[in-house]
Amino acid sequence: MDLASLFAARRGVEATIVLTPANAALIRPTLQRSTTSDHPVELLLYPFPSEAAGLPSGVENLATVSSEDDSKFTQAVVSSREAHDRLLREHRPDAVVTDFHFWWITGIAADIGIPSICFQVIGAFSRVIMDQLRETKVHENVPSDSHPFIVPGLPEPNIQLVRSELPTVLRSRNHFTDNWDVYRRAQLESFGRVVHTFYELEREYCELLRGVDCRKEWFIGPLDLFSKGGGHDHDHKGKAERGGGESAAVVENRERCMRWLERKKVGSVMFVCFGSWCYFEDEQLREMALGLEASGMEFLWVVRSGDHGEHLKTEWMPEGWEERVQGKGLVVKGWAPQAAILAHEAVGVFMTHCGWNSLLEGLGSGKPMLTWPLVFEQFINERLVVEVLKVGVRVWDGFRSTFEKEKVVVPAEAIERAVRKFMEGSGEGEEMRKRAAEWAEIARAAVAEGGSSHRDLNSLIDELFVVREKNQR
């Protein structure tokens, strides 16, 4: 959505987002507010084959998919290929942007003679590391899942990983590993790829990524900062209205969060959020509740319990806990306006699952981080935050795994200990706060006019104009 809005804001460019009805309902309100009548972004809908794949009707994104239905969702995505083919041939755009899940778009685009651009939703750091591991297979030669190894071929500092924390695509065979060569070929045949990052953040890794499995790269991000020319005005209202839709529950959560933060002192609140679909079992939620309480820090905690948020119950809460933390802690069930919360001056630290979008939003807001990765490439992202950028600290130093069946419960004491590091007025916590604030300024400069991301965005659009002119001759 953000990238489409940036395209549409450029004179002479019309942008259309192709998506399913349920996803359109989520982004339409935000899109209407973030674009103008002079530069609208159109929506083009296609039916998502949820029921044909054995999914409940209306399940059209990962936030609504239970863990046991992952394969069905993948099947439904693949079944969308015919609809994508029909829409592209019918509307004949000048270019198309897609991510690797829709690898077939590259072939369709080539067939009708238009450039396709791959959108990489993870950073350069994690992508380079995953490519190195696929190439060297060093992780396959360690004696156990918890035995550390160093990723070869990287700049300083050395990055040490353990096999249990690697993305599942590097640990077991699944749909993605079976089709990796297909994804690679699609990237190689594309016009190039947009990487959601800013060059200064991952400079050496951006250089390592250039030309690997792709003809050209454009490093454009953080996308959410572009809308306000770098985000200096801290537009809480605009950010609070991003995503989530317009249901009564979403609107209530949005207003409740912002009202609560307005009553808090600068830097006094810890924001605890683990993305739009990661969740914890009750036992872990109880330990988190006790750890947050014991830390003594005020907190705003977004909770998704049960199977991907389907059962937002409160049985996990320790007896009397709600009463004890009243006024000091706010628990939000379901969705919360993350970008606006992070941008608020009352928030002093961000406890995060290390999803890439969340990390960029945290850095763009200048917040140091407590890292609690769960799945995908999040454990690799954590190394960037903790070891390279030095703006975060791990919540838990014990065994961790990307496999759900191997996860261990992190005790309340570990959570309390990690939080207290950031409550120190000096020392390690203070240094992280300073570095995080510096990265926020660098991120804002990147998206401002003349910045690295701003230049790459204009370069991409200019190159697409050149291709269109050639095609029209």
Is residue 373 predicted with pLDDT exceeding 80? Answer: yes
Q: Residue 105: what pLDDT?
A: 96
Is 385 within the bounds of a domain?
Answer: yes
What number is the average pLDDT over the span 318-329?
96
CB within 8 Å of 116: residues ≥ 6 apart: 95, 96, 97, 98, 105, 106, 109, 110, 190, 191
Q: Residue 61: what pLDDT?
A: 87
Q: Residue 310: what pLDDT?
A: 46
Is residue 124 predicted with pLDDT exceeding 80? Answer: yes
For the chain, how far is it from start to end, CA to CA, in angstroms? 31
Report the largest interatomic distance among the alpha carbons of the chain, rounded to a whole angstrom.
73
Is residue 85 predicted with pLDDT exceeding 60? Answer: yes
Is 240 within the bounds of a domain?
Answer: no
Domain match, 435 and 453 both: no
Q: Residue 306: what pLDDT?
A: 52
Model confidence band, residue 305 (pLDDT cutoffs 50, 70, 90) = low
Domain match, 205 and 269 both: no
Q: Residue 64: what pLDDT?
A: 78
What number is the average pLDDT over the span 171-186?
79
Q: Which of 120-129, 167-176, 419-428 has the highest mean pLDDT?
A: 120-129
Q: DSSP for 384-410?
A: IIIIIS--EEES--S---SSGGG--PP
Task: Please list the residues that pair with 350 across neighbouring strands.
Answer: 271, 369
Q: DSSP for 428-447?
A: HHHHHHHHHHHHHHHHHHHH
Find the range with the poorest average confidence among 90-99, 117-126, 425-434: 425-434
pLDDT tens figures, 136-151: 999 999 999 999 999 9
Helices (H), ranges, 302-411: 321-325, 338-343, 356-364, 378-383
Closest CA to 2 of 36, 27, 38, 37: 27
Is residue 309 predicted with pLDDT exceeding 90? Answer: no
Domain match, 49 and 136 both: yes
Q: Residue 117: what pLDDT?
A: 98
What number is the average pLDDT over the span 303-321?
71
pLDDT tens figures, 183-225: 888 999 999 999 999 999 999 999 999 988 899 999 999 999 9
Top-confidence residue, 333 or 39: 333
Q: What are phi and psi of 310, to 5 degrees?
A: -75, -25
Find the range with the poorest average confidence among 61-70, 292-301, 361-370, 433-442: 61-70
Domain match, 180 and 158 both: yes
What number is the average pLDDT over the span 57-67?
81
Is 173 within the bounds of a domain?
Answer: yes
Domain match, 92 and 27 both: yes
Is residue 240 predicted with pLDDT exceeding 80? Answer: no
CATH label of the domain that carries residue 299: 3.40.50.2000
Domain match, 467 and 402 both: no
Is residue 8 predicted with pLDDT exceeding 90? Answer: yes
**70-79 vs 81-91: helix axis angle to the nearest 10?**
30
pLDDT tens figures, 399-431: 999 998 999 999 999 999 999 987 776 688 889
Q: Residue 212: what pLDDT?
A: 87
Domain match, 270 and 287 both: yes
Domain match, 122 and 86 both: yes
Is residue 83 predicted with pLDDT exceeding 70? Answer: yes
pLDDT tens figures, 9-30: 998 999 999 999 999 998 888 7
Task: Please list the residues that pair with 329 across neighbouring strands.
Answer: 299
What number is the average pLDDT over the span 290-297?
97
DSSP 3-state helix, strand, coil percentages of the chain (rounded to 5)? Answer: 50, 15, 40
Is residue 243 predicted with pLDDT exceeding 80? Answer: no
Q: DSSP for 77-129?
A: HHHTHHHHHHHHHHH--S-EEE-GGGTHHHHHHHHHT--EEEEE-S-HHHHHH
Is 238 within the bounds of a domain?
Answer: no
* Predicted structure pTM score: 0.92
What number is the average pLDDT over the span 339-368?
97
Is 273 within the bounds of a domain?
Answer: yes
Domain match, 271 and 412 both: yes
Is residue 380 predicted with pLDDT exceeding 80? Answer: yes
Task: Please list the residues that pair with 193 across neighbouring strands.
Answer: 118, 217
Domain match, 106 and 52 both: yes
Domain match, 18 and 129 both: yes
Q: Residue 472: what pLDDT?
A: 86
Q: What are phi and psi of 458, to 5 degrees?
A: -65, -35
Q: Which domain range does residue 165 map to? A: 2-227+446-472
The rounded percent of the chain whose pLDDT value lies above 90 is 73
What number is the average pLDDT over the span 33-38?
65
Is 10 within the bounds of a domain?
Answer: yes
Q: Residue 455: what pLDDT?
A: 98
Q: How many independent structural domains does the chain possess? A: 2
Is 232 within the bounds of a domain?
Answer: no
Is 239 within the bounds of a domain?
Answer: no
Domain match, 282 and 402 both: yes
Top-confidence residue, 236 or 270: 270
- What is the residue-averaged pLDDT of the chain? 90
